[in-house]
Amino acid sequence: MTLDDLMQLPQYSVAQADKEAVLLAELTRLGKHHRQRSPEYARLARIMFPGSADPHNLADLPYLPVALFKEHLLSSVPESEVFKILQSSGTTGQTPSRVVLDRETAQLQTLALSRIMCSVLGPNRLPMILVETADLIRDRRQFNARAAGLLGMLNFGRDHFYALDSNLELRLPELKDFLRRFGGAPFLMFGFTFLVWSRFYQPLADAGLDFSHGILIHSGGWKKLQEESVSAADFRAALRQALGLTRVYNFYGMVEQVGSVFLEGDDGYLYPPNFADVIVRDPTTFEELPNGQTGVLEVLSALPRSYPGHCLLTEDLGVVHAVDSPSCGRLGKAFSVLGRIPKAELRGCSDVIAAKVS
């Protein structure tokens, strides 16, 4: 089996051991590729992971803390081949991450995302509701991360309808028109989790509209909802009960690995696509933890060619629940993201590495 097979095979259909064998070869090769093309990465890998040239499993592969992309522009392509530089939104006061894309990596990302989304949407584009304001993408010179996330999803829809106005208020009459036109057959909905909750579900909770043919894909994190004590299960239950929405898929992803998103299954767990994986590490020793134990998530992806982002230690806590135990028909690791790692530990880690690099 090759990487190409992993892309072409139905997503979530590859058993963990088979996937790991292909990914180990592919990511080892990618590591070599980045060491040759990015002196900065070569130096980091050497300092942080001496003796890692011969990895025996995915956990042996050198990984970078995701925060490094805030402090360093890590590139494995000459400047002439840079297609665009992605920038994370970054909360106020934080330096945004910057990720260098060449044409090949950008295309791989688009293709990969479509493989993942088509696994729940099918091959045809569906009429689409965006729980967003059209203003978000009006200024075409400058897209923030929210806009970039939205743009990536537009490909999967047709007859795009922006359900929010400039003030992020619901455009109710137009929404009703959309439902009259398209509500009787499958349609797609996309939005950021908190906006879906506060600007869509809440104003519609008692409206009695029928979204039972809708497929909702949402992302962006649970932090704000956790502050309101709304869990992922509450979210799903509320949408099902008030809107008749039964097909709801959250995904976990980051600007440092665009295209390589972890999409929720019908059981509410997240699953890596064929060409990506997750590892849970102990937050103090960074050893791989057994399933069922909470630790720091490392994300692996075969997509990044133009920047050394194939193995990244995130700032998120997570847990792997099961492997190849398809409670929803998917193979691979079933996992959950449990929120941000407490700040102090992560700063420590990234400071040490930042000091080593500079």
Partner 1 sequence: MTTSSTEKLKHAFVSALGVSPDGDFDSMAYGQTPGWDSIAHMALISEIETAFDIMLATDDVIGMSSFLKAKEIVTRNGVSFA
| Binding stretches for partner 1 (CB under 8 A) | 83, 103, 106-107, 110-111, 114, 117-118, 121, 123-125, 137, 140, 151-152, 154-156, 158, 160
Terminal CA-to-CA distance of the chain, rounded, Å?
40
Quote the least distance from Cβ 125 to partner 1, whole Å.
6
When the beta carbons of 119 and 350 are compared against partner 1, the nearer one is: 119
Give min distance, CB of 114 to partner 1, in A. Answer: 5
CB of 192 to partner 1, least distance (A): 18
Q: Which is nearer to partner 1, 118 or 168 (CB)?
A: 118
Alpha-helical (H) ranges within the chain are 3-8, 16-37, 39-48, 68-71, 103-121, 145-154, 172-182, 193-195, 202-204, 223-227, 232-243, 343-357
Which residue in 311, 284, 282, 278 sits closest to 294, CA to CA? Answer: 282
User: Closest separation between CB of residue 329 and partner 1, Å?
Assistant: 21
Closest CB to partner 1 among 107 and 325? 107
Give me 148's structure tokens: 């970039």
Distance of alpha carbon 11 from alpha carbon 32, whole angstroms: 27
138 C-beta neighbours (distance < 10 Å), count: 9
Q: What is the DSSP string of 258-277?
A: TT--EEE-TTS-EE--TTEE
37 or 125: CB nearest partner 1: 125
With a CB cutoff of 8 Å and minimum separation 6, the contacts of 2 are: 22
CB of 183 to partner 1, least distance (A): 19
Nearer to partner 1, 119 or 314 (CB): 119
Closest contact distance (angstroms) between CB of 96 and partner 1 is 20
Copy the structure tokens of residue 180.
């009259």
User: CB-wise, 83 or 286, nearer to partner 1?
Assistant: 83
